[in-house]
Amino acid sequence: MNKLLLGMVIVAVLAGIYANNRENNELVVSVVEVKLGDVIASVTNTRAGTVDACRRSGIAPSTGGTIAGLYVKDGDSVEANQLLLELWNADFKAQLKLAERDAVATRSRSRQSCVTSSVAQRKAERLVRLQEKNVASEDAVEAAVGDAESSAAACEASKDAVKVKQAAIEIAQATLQRTQLRAPFAGVIAEINGELGEFVTPSPVGVPTPPTVDLIDNSCLYIMAPIDEVDAPEVRAGLKAWITLDAFKKRRFSGEVRRVAPYVLDLEKQSRTVDVEAVIDDPDMAILFPGYSADVEVIIDERHGVLYVPTVVVLEDSSVYVIPAGGGLVEKRIIETGLSNWEQTEVVKGLEEGDFVIRSIDREGVADGVKARIE
């Protein structure tokens, strides 16, 4: 009796060990659930891009001279045509004043000449009427008409003289403006290379020198970034883009592709890229500054509210491994895919929402028809 009881215990223990070993040897897989969501296909730059202003101008006076007036400082906002600095130009201002006063005198003489012409004309007309009544002599009429014509010519000549003096004023103004530096557009002063009393000269031909004033129009910013030549054919002007910056790691800014360069750059060995310009149209762009490093993600296409799976679960033959929710036999299923990126792939046909797809496809033993359970 004791031997029988002992034998039963041994059999039970062996059965438990066998069942435990069998359970431990069962294939265990990790899965992902097929869901609805958004799939976005995009390309990004190969190297960091740079934030730049749509308009940036390094300007300097067109003539040399001593800085006599400096009316702005670094960081100032300026309006278009605002005077930034002025070289010593007392002689040119005096010449302009002389030209203006000469023009005033010439206009006065012109008025005098034209008044004389008007009087002579009226006199000649009166004598002509008297001659018709045989009251005025022919000689007197001819003399009066000649005086009127001569006075009219003098009036016209004086008007032409006024135009000449006005041209002289414009010449004096142009000469004076060569000593004045004005903003070509509204913007922010990035840097001034010069101080009161310093002598500045224009850059010699072929010899670049720092500009006297560096002016930036920060109302329009864009990103210049290199895209790999393989991705470049998909990028075109007008596509939506997202811009991320190292300076604002938790934010991204909306933008749009403005231009794709019509040539390929070969700046590094085995690396050929195409420059892409993306304009930032985010309302918070005021916090950005030219010179920031930035990355551009160009949205090539996007799908919303579609079935998708992680791209890593899709095999080369467009198949996935599917398993029932409670575990069971693994099924290798061919699917039809749509839009895809590195992370997500759209499923057009072959799966339904709620299906479980095996993620651990590289785990030993995963195959069609194998029994497995979900970890």
Q: Per-residue pLDDT tens for 277-330?
A: 898 887 777 777 888 889 998 988 888 999 999 999 999 898 999 989 888 899
* CA–CA–CA angle 353, 359, 361 (5° rounding): 130
Query: According to the model, what pLDDT value does residue 103 have?
Result: 94
The structure's pTM equals 0.60
Over 60: is that where the pLDDT of 22 sits? no
| pLDDT, tens digit, 9 for 90 and up, residues 102-112 | 999 999 999 99
Over 90: is that where the pLDDT of 3 sits? no
In terms of Cβ atoms closer than 10 Å to its own Cβ (0-12, 13-18, 19+), residue 68 is middle
Q: Looking at residues 133-138, what average pLDDT do you find?
A: 81
Q: Looking at residues 227-240, what average pLDDT do you find?
A: 88
Q: Looking at residues 338-352, what average pLDDT do you find?
A: 88
Q: How far is CA 102 from CA 154, 161, 344, 367, in A?
A: 18, 11, 80, 102
* Structure confidence at residue 173 as a pLDDT band (50, 70, 90): very high
Q: Which residues contact 106 (CB under 8 A, 6 or more apart)?
A: 158, 161, 162, 164, 165
Phi, psi dihedral angles at 231 (to 5 degrees): -90, -20
* Structure confidence at residue 132 as a pLDDT band (50, 70, 90): confident
* Structure confidence at residue 13 as a pLDDT band (50, 70, 90): very low
The count of other CB atoms within 10 Å of the CB of residue 255 is 25
Query: According to the model, what pLDDT value does residue 268 have?
Result: 59
